[in-house]
Amino acid sequence: MVEMKIQLKNVQILDPQSSWHLQQQDILVDNGVITAIGKLETAPDAIVINSSALSVSPGFIDLKADFCDPGFEHKETVSSGLDAASAGGYSRIYVQPNTQPVCDNKAVLTYIQSQGNNHTTAIGVNGALSKNLEGKALAEMYELFEHGARLFTDDTHSSNAGLVQRALLYTKDFGGRVALLSRNASLTDKAQVNEGMASTKTGLKADPHLSEIIEIERNIRLLAYTKGSMHLSGISTAEGLNLVRRAKQEGLDLTCDVHLMNLIFTEEDMLGFDTHKKVLPVLRTATDREVLWEGILDGTLDAIVSDHRPADTEEKELEFDLAAFGAPQLETVFSALLTQKPEALNHFLPLLHTGPRKILGIESNVIEIGHMAELTIFDTTLAYQPNMRPEQWRFSPFKNQELQGRILGVIRGAHATLAQH
């Protein structure tokens, strides 16, 4: 972390809300503020960032990461997680409430926030939907909202209809948003892989598309009934996305995201029993993956999330059906997306910055003179060999792969993490 004057030379500005969008200019950041944009003389006292194809966008925001702190610090801490987020280009990160104790009250929330002081990447917290994530009594959501929470979720735990209805009605009073992973627990008990090729060829228990579809249908009906605000996380099927698209067309206050893994891999990647790619939602068909990309292009999807979930040896180096779901993702999101669909850069970038801000209801820091700098700096032409922390890298789904595109730095106000320096 540094506090200084920074100059970006001949940088392509990728911010659709900026008057400088798609232009190549120099940007000077002084004490956290953009003080000049244009063809500038090199400031003698500035750190200069220059690269063959330098680009800058508003700072990335991740809506869904697990930092395991408090309670599971042997896997990750807030500090190490924020370091990973900065390396991945994120200026802000929002962590899940599945800590120990659960983040269902302000004491846990403020503890997590305090651990993020003085980092380049700011930390936010998604509050629990129910007390102790048990799906019974509602958590102290208004209290959590007053202290910064905007999304309320029980993470991967299934939420019954009564709880969701009460939460939607309650959060209407103060502007919170109920966030749900649409996966029917009774249809997915001990399920490991997608129903179809993966389940047939591996013999592992199947997770059917139906488990997502009927949950989305139920959740949309509850949303229409209550006229509340809902976020559906981890859309993984073509039919599920179509249900969301129709609900949005009907005017419901509904947002949604897709996990990185469902944009990159498919159920065929499960045939080798690779626990590094064992995630939730399970990897679906190639057709599902392509429809999800179409949802990025047509604006149905609002955000792309990492669903970063660190693991330890005891959770991952096991037989496939015993291994934990999840993988470390923060450092590789941008490069993995660019490698998969380089032609879609200008379509997926807004789902990493503007989309999450709209979901959270926070103002965008547009790249303009006089605005606070909240920037992600990258080069799309540089190859990236992921260099994660050794204890996490061995569980990465991108192990031993060379990806396209490299994050070169993050600036958030007077704080910066710069890969070149």
Catalytic residue set = 307
State how far the Cα of 141 lies from the Cα of 128, in Å rounded to an integer.
7
Strand order in the sheet with 230-233: 127-128, 151-153, 177-181, 230-233, 254-259, 303-305
Angle, helix 238-249 to helix 209-226, in steps of 10 degrees = 10
State how far the Cα of 108 lies from the Cα of 320, in Å rounded to an integer.
33
Which residue type sits at 61? I
How many CA atoms lie less than 13 Å away from 202 in the CB half-sphere?
24
Burial class of residue 328 in the structure, from the number of CB atoms within 10 Å of its CB (0-12 exposed, 13-18 middle, 19+ buried): buried
State how far the Cα of 149 lies from the Cα of 161, in Å rounded to an integer.
22
- What distance lies between CA 92 and its chain's CA centroid? 10
Contact (CB, 8 A) for 293 and 263: yes
Q: Residue ranges of the alpha helices (H) in 17-94? A: 78-87
* Tokens encoding 317: 């180096």
State how far the Cα of 88 lies from the Cα of 210, in Å rounded to an integer.
34
DSSP collapsed to 3 states, 106-126: HHHHHHHHHHCCCCCCEEEEC
Report the DSSP beta bridge partners of residue 127: 152
Q: Which residue has the tokens 């779901």?
A: 325
State how far the Cα of 392 lies from the Cα of 404, in Å rounded to an integer.
21
The three-point CA angle 117-123-129 to 5° equals: 130
State how far the Cα of 141 lies from the Cα of 106, in Å rounded to an integer.
9
Helices and strands (H, E) in the chain, number of each type = 14, 19
Tell me the three state secondary structure of residue 227.
coil
